[in-house]
Amino acid sequence: MYQKIVTKGSTDYCYLKIRLDFGKDHDAIIDALNFKQLILSAAKDVFGIAVSCSLIDVLRYEKSSRTAVIRIYHKYLTKLWSSLTMYGNINGAPCAFRILQVSSHLMALANNSRSMKLHMVYDG
């Protein structure tokens, strides 16, 4: 009746929460499709098609904050992450991908206590 399974080694997938920031004088409307294309071109710039052809799923995208949750293969984590880090401009507008959270569990991205905002009730 009692069963226990512990993952051995790495999990298959890795999930990232990323935000695209622009410099203060620039702004652009990026929809989910553009966002995915940007990720692909970032990966292609640094590592070529071998990495950019691997699985990159945009699971959720919020246009207003340009924040996305993506799913990738765990073995490409370092490569994809660093290619996002080195990506610096879109058509001349300086930008930066901010990696907000990295986890091998999608569930982990539902909450981030590090960026938790406190809402205080001031009584009397």
Q: Would you tell me which residues interact with another protein (CB under 8 A)?
A: 1-7, 9-11, 13-15, 21-24, 32-33, 36, 45-46, 55, 57-61, 69, 71, 74-75, 77-79, 81-82, 84-88, 94-96, 98-99, 101-114, 116-123
- Residue 104's H or E segment, with its range, is none
Q: Do 95 and 63 form a contact (C-beta atoms < 8 A)?
A: no
Closest CB 110 distance from another protein, rounded Å = 4
Closest CB 88 distance from another protein, rounded Å = 4
Which residue is listed with tokens 């293969």?
73
Closest CB 65 distance from another protein, rounded Å = 13
Closest CB 91 distance from another protein, rounded Å = 14
Nearer to another protein by Cβ, of 49 and 55: the residue is 55
